[in-house]
């Protein structure tokens, strides 16, 4: 489907499928096109897990592609039952620092995820991250990153960042750009130490770093 035709169809109905009035359609024109593109990407990007991410990265803003990948990562992650209970109604995603793709990711606030809804919140103190299921870390220095990861040691918080060297430093999932394509680097040992299980379909498409000899 062409993006232009998709935008037209999204701009002609409300979220319940009811046709909009002429006045409503005029007002809808002021809705940022970015939010429509994000919705479109969310529907198609993970149809084949990460298979289409390379093509999407060539046609959409890098921040938008990273946001879509981040939104879908929990679907490929299993938390201990004590950390993500059946009674939980939200997946809590915390932003520690200000990732460059924050405005894109914020568009997923309240969207369904793993049978729950996504709750995105900004935090200032690493200690607050212990109440989250995942945390996106944007460190200002390697020293700060080490301190943050140390504070999360012993928890089952999924750590994610697009900072270079994040996975090698002990972070779990790093979003990196190679030849204008978004790639994943996974520190499998860190994830296992936290009691997290990452699906093989994700690992097959990632670069694995860290000591994972216990798998062999």
Mean pLDDT on 89-109: 94
Q: By the 8 A CB rule, do 42 and 34 touch?
A: no
Q: For position 188, what pLDDT does the model report?
A: 96
What pLDDT shows up at residue 13? 33
Q: Mean pLDDT check: name the lowest of 47-61, 99-113, 129-143, 193-207.
A: 47-61
What CATH number should be reported for the domain whose range is 62-215?
3.40.50
- Spatial separation of the C-alpha atoms in residues 118 and 37, rounded to whole Å: 19
Query: How far apart, in whole angstroms, are the C-alpha atoms of residue 107 and residue 64?
Result: 10
User: How confident is the prediction for the chain on average, in pLDDT?
Assistant: 77
Supply the pLDDT for residue 58: 54
CA distance readout (Å), 167 to 91, 107, 122, 176, 209: 23, 26, 22, 10, 7
Beta bridge partners of 123: 96
Q: Where are the domains of the chain?
A: 3-31, 62-215
**44-48, 94-98, 114-118, 148-152: segment of lowest average pLDDT:** 44-48
């Amino acid at each position: 489907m062409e993006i232009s035709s998709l935008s037209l169809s999204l701009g002609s109905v409300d979220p319940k499928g009811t046709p909009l009035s002429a006045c409503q359609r005029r007002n809808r024109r002021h809705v940022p096109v970015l939010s429509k593109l994000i919705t479109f990407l969310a529907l198609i990007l993970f149809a084949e897990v990460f298979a289409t991410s390379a093509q999407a990265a060539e046609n959409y803003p890098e921040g938008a592609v990273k946001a879509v990948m981040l939104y879908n990562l929990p679907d490929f992650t299993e938390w201990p039952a004590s950390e993500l209970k059946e009674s939980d109604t939200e997946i809590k995603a915390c932003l520690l620092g200000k990732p460059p793709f924050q405005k894109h990711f914020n568009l997923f606030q309240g969207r369904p995820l793993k049978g729950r809804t996504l709750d995105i919140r900004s935090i200032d103190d690493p200690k607050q991250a212990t109440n989250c299921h995942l945390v996106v870390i944007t460190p200002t220095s390697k020293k700060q990153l080490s301190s943050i990861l140390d504070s999360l040691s012993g928890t089952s918080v999924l750590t994610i960042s697009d900072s270079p060297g994040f996975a090698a430093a002990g972070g779990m999932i790093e979003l990196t750009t190679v030849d204008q394509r978004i790639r994943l680097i996974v520190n499998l040992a860190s994830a296992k130490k936290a009691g997290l299980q990452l699906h093989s379909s994700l690992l097959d498409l990632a670069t694995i770093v860290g000591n994972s000899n216990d798998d062999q």
